[in-house]
């Protein structure tokens, strides 16, 4: 069964500083990987996804993530954080494209941005 | 494309009452999912529809929960005899599955229905 670990519950970053949020997954094959962002009281917005091919994927709002099979990781990065990036970030893993495709989410990392 | 919508956005009920939530997916999406998110946790899968067929249910979905998607468009999630432990955000998502079961992994989420059981 799939599982996702986000080891950091909270991270505080100064505005303008770089950001890296960690995500480790467990899955028997090459998974589909996602990062979602959730603002307080809101639903989830997809930031980026990895299905196959280039292991460095670009997303919206200046985010990128790198798939590292050897480390079972899919860390999210941003070179310069803006105050509006403060939110909760969820990493998720999905099954291969054939058949049923629920997403399994990590417990999330709350990003705080200090002035 | 107006996105996934959910109604109501908030629901406060007393323990023992029944509640029903509605989800309207993106119009061309044939797959619909329900998730539950409790405070401080990530969303957890509840159930999944392909068109009008409910193809998978999580063990989290007790007998008090029922979901329908009668015409393969909108879906409803009903909770009977609510308990305080049912308090959570209920999220709906939809995706487009392609022929042969391919595709559909990019799920688009609605804003959620926050349920508070007193």
Model pLDDT for residues A56-109, shown as the tens digit of each residue: 999 999 999 999 999 999 999 999 999 999 999 999 998 665 555 788 999 999
Q: Confidence class of residue A43 from pLDDT cuts 50, 70 and 90?
A: confident
Q: What pLDDT shows up at residue B45? A: 93
Task: Let me know: does A64 contact A78? Beta carbons within 8 Å.
Answer: yes
pLDDT(A46) > 60: yes
Q: Quick check: B100 pLDDT over 70?
A: no
**Residue in B closest to A45 by C-alpha:** B109
Q: How many helices (H) and strands (E) does chain B have?
A: 0, 11
Residue A49 contacts B where some CB pair is shorter than 8 Å:
yes
Is B41 within 8 Å of A41 when comparing Cβ atoms? Answer: no
Gap between the Cα atoms of B69 and B57, Å rounded: 14
Is the distance from CB of B11 to CB of B77 less than 8 angstroms? no
Contact A98 B105 (CB under 8 A): no
Which residue reads 């799920």 in tokens? B107
Q: Quick check: B42 and A107 CB within 8 A?
A: yes
DSSP state of B30: -
- Whole-angstrom distance, CA of residue A18 vs CA of residue A81: 6
d(CA A98, CA B53): 17
Interface touch B114/A99, C-beta < 8 Å: no
Task: Compute the average pLDDT of residues B20-32.
Answer: 94
Instruction: Measure the CA–CA gap between B48 and B115, rounded to whole angstroms.
Output: 20
* Helix or strand run (H / E) with residue B56: strand B53-57
Q: How confident is the model at residue B102 (pLDDT cuts 50, 70, 90)?
A: low
Does pLDDT of B13 surpass 70?
yes
Is A40 in CB contact (< 8 Å) with chain B? no
Structure tokens at B90: 């209920």
Per residue in B48-74, pLDDT (tens digit) is 998 999 988 888 888 999 999 998 899
| Alpha-carbon distance A30 to nearest alpha carbon in chain B (angstroms) | 14
DSSP-derived 3-state class of residue A61: helix
Q: Report the run of H or E that residue A64 belongs to, with start and end.
A: strand A64-68
Mean pLDDT (chain A, rounded) = 91
Angstroms from A18 CA to nearest CA on chain B:
24
Cβ neighbours of A52 (radius 10 Å): 9
Q: Mapping DSSP to helix (H, G, I), strand (E, B) and coil, where does residue A39 land? A: coil
Q: Is B70 on the interface with A (CB under 8 A)?
A: no
H runs (alpha helix) in B24-91: none
* Residue A108 sits at the chain B interface (C-beta within 8 Å): yes
Q: What percent of chain A has pLDDT over 70?
A: 95
Quote the CA–CA distance of B105 and A11 in Å, as a whole number: 28
Contact assessment for residue A9 and residue A110, using Cβ atoms and an 8 Å cutoff: yes
Cis status, amide bond into A68, omega within 30 of 0: no
């Amino acid at each position: 069964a799939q599982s996702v670990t986000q080891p950091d519950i909270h991270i505080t970053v100064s505005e303008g500083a770089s950001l890296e949020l960690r995500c480790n997954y467990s899955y028997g094959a090459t998974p589909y990987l996602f990062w979602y962002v959730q603002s307080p009281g809101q639903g989830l917005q997809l930031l980026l996804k990895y299905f196959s091919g280039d292991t460095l994927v670009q997303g919206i709002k200046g985010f990128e993530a790198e798939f590292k099979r050897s480390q079972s990781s899919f860390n999210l990065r941003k070179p310069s954080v803006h105050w509006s990036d403060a939110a909760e970030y969820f990493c998720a893993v999905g099954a291969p494209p054939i058949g049923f495709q629920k997403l399994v989410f990590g417990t999330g990392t709350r990003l705080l941005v200090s002035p | 494309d107006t996105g996934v919508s959910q109604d109501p956005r908030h629901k406060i009920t007393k323990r023992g009452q029944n509640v029903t939530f509605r989800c309207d997916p993106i119009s061309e999406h044939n797959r619909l999912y329900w998730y539950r998110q409790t405070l401080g946790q990530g969303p957890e899968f509840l159930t999944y529809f392909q068109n009008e067929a409910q193809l998978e249910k999580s063990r989290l979905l007790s007998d008090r929960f029922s979901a329908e998607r009668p015409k393969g468009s909108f879906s409803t999630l009903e909770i009977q005899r609510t308990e305080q432990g049912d308090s959570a955000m209920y999220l709906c998502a939809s995706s487009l599955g392609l022929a042969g079961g391919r595709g559909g992994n990019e799920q688009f989420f609605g804003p959620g229905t926050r349920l508070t059981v007193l």
